[in-house]
């Protein structure tokens, strides 16, 4: 019967093919992380060796020690000894590098280069353990009100034209009031009636100046409240879409108060890109090029009515029509790729039905003329004085200034009638094309947002959570080891080896899959430790039962593993089904628990059945045995 307990070569090859990579890819988790700073360029700027040298010089002058610095395709990364040095370096680099670069806090793995070269990465830890980043964003409601007032100006003009009410001027002043001056005072009652019916969100009052009657419109209070609620909800939706596009596991996007949003991104490695994507209020506008007037005359100060001067990315001026053909709101899909003809980066755009109809009509009527793609972005930054010090208000808060960027990405000649799909060329890099397509897919923000707070999880919170989680795993693991060794002796020691390998394989799979480990996930690991032992207990008890009935040791081993297999598989499959249901229908913490439980079930079945059988075969399979140490 000894031949029954010998593995064929192919089974050993399977075990080796699983165990060695498991040990290798679990190894990065023992090296830990260093507090770091990541610098990335914005819109065409590149964080290269020059920026790395500038950052290192700034660190030397400020006497902030740097462990190492590197410049790669993801930008510049600097490592520090402590979070205090990391925070000081962040503030220093933000002032030194200006708005052309994004400076973000991050945690950089200390994995050796040879292991990283093989694809070894540590598993991601959730914010409740360590790593990731926390953002507090504030919605700029004043910009939302300004946009609404500008829309009301356009709507007011079209409403009066449709009602055949003649007016001298309609405009919005700096205080946000909409001033309307009619040509005929006799049209006042009719105008008030039409505006009240068609534009109920405006509160209209009358005002006389120098013998002329003005109608003054302001947003009603209930309109402002509805607008604020809509802006906050729309921004949360857009930000959730952007976070999903970033591929972050188990993110948190929550409302805080009337105008703030909390975003937590666990396990994020490229925090600079996350910061840039979340904070950008960018969209596109399509405008026709004004080819009837001279650009030089417009540059001299005589801009024709109905047109506006813009600049392209090379600094050249171009005269465009004020009328916007359609905007990024009409874009339903966007994808970044490379042009097969030129090899340059492009963004393929898909329009909704309204945008496609407009695009088809405009391009069909203007073949041979130029249509410009205008990039619009509202950017917020901390104001500094001439010495580089941050300017604060009376309450001690940093003063922020807003900058509106308007530039022409491309202005090609319309060669043929376009429809639902077209391409945007003229982008600086593949990375910019990818970021632009991400924001267009996710949807534009209803109002600009300011990142008023950015921080990593407090080290005391992270360290305490890690210690508690590790302690729970260690205590449970050690107690199981002691029990198994004392109760099942040699077989118990074999089960302990398999249990240790089970943990190693779980860590390796979590690392390779990019899943984020949270505290509920740690609970799943602890539960898996107990479940892994259950399988061995079933097998060992079956072997003992066979020995009591008088079977030989070799036959008892064979029968014990063979007959316990179906019971183990049935029990684990039902638990796996429950874990899959939890993952599909659960949220955040529940999903974290389900992920580790699912992985643990699969690894424990391998180690408890195939792994322990292999070790038992090595010990007992090639010799005559009169007694088993069980």
Mean pLDDT of 228-236: 85
Mean pLDDT calculated for residue range 231-260? 76
Please count the other Cβ atoms lying within 10 Å of the Cβ belonging to residue 624.
9
Q: How many CA atoms lie within 13 A of 332 on its CB side?
A: 9
Fold of 2-27+458-620: Multidrug efflux transporter AcrB transmembrane fold (1.20.1640)
Which residues does 141 contact at the CB level (< 8 Å), separation at least 6?
A: 227, 228, 231, 259, 447
Q: How confident is the model at residue 175 (pLDDT cuts 50, 70, 90)?
A: confident
Q: Is the pLDDT of residue 577 over 60?
A: yes
Tokens 């898909």 found at? 350
Work out the percent of the chain whose per-residue pLDDT is above 90: 1
Confidence at residue 267, expressed as pLDDT on a 0 to 100 scale:
59
Q: What is the arithmetic mean of pLDDT over 346-358?
A: 86
- Please state which of the ranges 166-170, 469-473, 556-560, 593-597 shows the lowest mean pLDDT: 469-473
Most confident of 71-85, 89-103, 462-476: 71-85
Average pLDDT over residues 565-570: 82
Return the beta strands (E) in 536-612 as ranges: none
Is pLDDT above 50 for 620?
Answer: yes
pLDDT at 444: 65
State yes or no: pLDDT of 490 exceeds 80.
yes
Looking only at the bridges linking them, the beta strands covering 124-125 and 516-517 are parallel
CA distance 366 to 412: 12
Which range of 28-32, 248-252, 439-443 scores highest in mean pLDDT? It is 28-32
d(CA 535, CA 529): 11
The average pLDDT across 371-386 equals 74
Model confidence at 460: pLDDT above 60: no
| Cα 64 to Cα 18: distance, rounded to the nearest angstrom | 44
Q: Is the confidence at residue 1, as pLDDT, over 50?
A: no
Q: Are 539 and 561 in contact (CB under 8 A)?
A: yes
**Is-same-fold flag (2-27+458-620; 282-426)?**
no
> What's the maximum distance between 2 C-alpha atoms anywhere in the chain?
119
Q: What is the pLDDT of residues 182-216, one digit of tens each?
A: 888 788 888 888 888 888 888 888 887 776 778 88
Residue 45 binned pLDDT confidence (cut-offs 50, 70, 90): low
CA distance 8 to 591: 39
CB 163 within 8 A of CB 206: no
Output DSSP code: residue 341.
T
pLDDT of res. 587: 65
Q: Which helix (H) or strand (E) holds 319?
A: strand 317-321
Q: Is 200 helix (H, G, I), strand (E, B) or coil?
A: coil
The CATH homologous superfamily of the domain defined by 33-109: ACT domain (3.30.70.260)
Distances (CA, A) of 616 to 264, 390, 622: 48, 69, 10
Residue 251 has pLDDT above 80, yes or no: no
- Looking at per-residue pLDDT, the higher value among 623 and 255 belongs to 255
CA dihedral 263, 266, 269, 274 (to 10 degrees): -10
More confident residue, 537 or 473: 537
CATH 3.40.109.10 is right for the domain spanning 142-222: no
Please tell me which residue, 125 or 311, carries the higher pLDDT value: 311
Express each pLDDT in 116-126 by its tens digit. 888 888 887 77
Q: Domain segments of the chain: what residues?
A: 2-27+458-620, 33-109, 142-222, 282-426
Mean pLDDT of the chain: 81
pLDDT value of position 99: 61
Average pLDDT for residues 594-608, to the nearest whole number? 87
C-alpha closest to that of 279 among 57, 47, 445, 505: 445
The band of 281, judged by pLDDT with boundaries at 50, 70 and 90, is: low
- Find out whether 564 and 570 touch, Cβ atoms under 8 Å: no
Residue that wins the pLDDT comparison between 541 and 394: 541
**DSSP 8-state class, residue 64:** -
The pLDDT assigned to 2 comes to 42
Contact predicate 579/596, CB 8 Å: no
- For 1-15, 244-258, 452-466, 580-594, which range has the lowest pLDDT when averaged over its residues? 452-466
Whether 367 and 436 have beta carbons less than 8 Å apart is answered as no
Pair of tokens at residue 358 = 């407009």
Fold (CATH) for 282-426: Gyrase A; domain 2 (3.30.1360)
| Distance (Å, whole) CA 299 – CA 201 | 39
Q: CA 135, CA 124: separation in Å to the nearest integer?
A: 18
pLDDT at residue 533 in the model: 81
For 42-109, where are the E strands, in sequence order?
68-72, 75-79, 101-109
Burial class (CB in 10 A: 0-12, 13-18, 19+), 557: buried
Other CB atoms within 10 Å distance of the CB of residue 99:
14
Query: What's the whole-number mean pLDDT along residues 138-143?
Result: 83
Dump pLDDT digits (tens) for 515-548.
Answer: 777 778 888 888 887 777 888 888 888 888 888 8
User: Per-residue pLDDT averaged across 85-106, rounded?
Assistant: 77
Q: Which residue has the higher pLDDT, 74 or 619?
A: 619
Could you tell me if 624 and 5 are in contact, meaning their C-beta atoms sit under 8 angstroms apart? no
- Beta-bridged to residue 137, according to DSSP, are 261, 451
């Amino acid at each position: 019967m000894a031949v029954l307990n010998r593995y064929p070569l192919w089974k050993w090859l399977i075990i080796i093919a699983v165990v060695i990579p498991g040990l290798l890819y679990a190894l990065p988790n023992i090296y830990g992380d260093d507090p770091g700073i990541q610098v990335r360029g914005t819109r065409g700027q590149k964080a290269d060796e020059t920026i790395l040298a500038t950052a290192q010089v700034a660190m030397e002058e400020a006497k902030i020690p740097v462990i190492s610095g590197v410049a790669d395709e993801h930008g510049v990364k600097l490592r520090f000894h402590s979070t205090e040095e990391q925070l000081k370096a962040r503030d220093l680099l933000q002032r030194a590098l200006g708005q052309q670069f994004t400076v973000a806090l991050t945690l950089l793995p200390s994995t050796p280069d040879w292991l990283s070269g093989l694809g070894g990465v540590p598993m991601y830890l959730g914010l409740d353990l360590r790593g990731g980043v926390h953002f507090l964003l504030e919605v700029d409601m004043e910009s939302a009100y300004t946009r609404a007032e500008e829309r009301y100006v356009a709507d007011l003009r079209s409403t009066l034209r449709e009602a055949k009410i003649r007016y001298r001027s309609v405009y919005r002043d700096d205080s946000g009031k909409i001033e309307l001056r009619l040509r005929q005072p006799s049209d006042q009652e009719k105008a008030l009636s039409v505006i009240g019916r068609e534009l109920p969100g405006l509160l209209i009052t009358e005002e006389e100046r120098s013998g002329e009657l003005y109608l003054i419109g302001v947003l009603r209070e209930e309109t402002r409240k509805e607008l604020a609620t809509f802006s906050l909800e729309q921004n949360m939706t857009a930000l959730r879409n952007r976070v999903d596009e970033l591929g972050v596991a188990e993110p948190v996007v929550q409302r805080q108060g009337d105008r703030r949003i909390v975003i937590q991104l666990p396990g994020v490695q490229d925090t600079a890109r996350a910061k840039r994507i979340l904070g950008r209020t960018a969209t596109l506008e399509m405008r026709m090029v004004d080819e009837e007037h001279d650009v030089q005359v417009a540059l001299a100060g005589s801009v024709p009515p109905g047109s506006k001067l813009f600049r392209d990315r090379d600094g050249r001026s171009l005269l465009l029509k004020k009328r916007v053909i359609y905007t990024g709101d009409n874009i339903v899909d966007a994808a970044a790729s490379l042009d097969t003809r030129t090899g340059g980066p492009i963004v393929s755009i898909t329009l909704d039905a309204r945008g496609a109809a407009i695009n088809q009509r405009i391009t069909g009527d203007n073949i041979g003329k130029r249509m410009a793609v205008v990039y619009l972005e509202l950017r917020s930054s901390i104001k500094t004085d001439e010495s580089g010090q941050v300017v604060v208000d009376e309450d001690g808060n940093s003063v922020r200034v807003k900058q509106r960027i308007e530039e022409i990405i491309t202005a090609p000649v319309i060669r043929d009638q376009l429809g639902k799909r077209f391409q945007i060329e003229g982008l600086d890099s593949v990375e910019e094309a990818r970021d632009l397509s991400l924001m267009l897919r996710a949807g534009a923000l209803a109002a600009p947002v300011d990142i008023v707070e950015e921080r990593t999880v407090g080290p005391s919170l992270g360290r305490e959570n890690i210690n508690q989680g590790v302690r729970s795993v260690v205590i449970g693991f050690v107690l199981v080891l002691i029990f198994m060794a004392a109760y099942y002796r040699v077989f118990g020691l074999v089960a302990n080896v398999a249990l240790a390998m089970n943990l190693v394989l779980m860590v390796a799979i979590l690392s390779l899959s990019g899943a984020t480990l949270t505290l509920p996930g740690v609970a799943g690991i602890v539960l898996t430790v107990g479940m892994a032992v259950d399988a061995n207990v079933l097998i060992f008890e079956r072997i003992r039962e066979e020995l009591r009935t008088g079977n030989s040791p070799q036959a008892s081993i064979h029968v014990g593993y063979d007959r316990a297999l179906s019971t183990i598989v049935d029990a684990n499959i039902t638990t796996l089904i429950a874990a899959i249901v939890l993952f599909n229908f659960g949220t955040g913490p529940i999903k974290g628990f389900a992920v580790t439980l699912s992985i643990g079930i699969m690894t424990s079945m391998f180690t408890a059945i195939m792994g322990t059988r292999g070790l038992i075969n090595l010990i007992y399979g090639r010799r005559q045995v009169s007694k088993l140490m069980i």
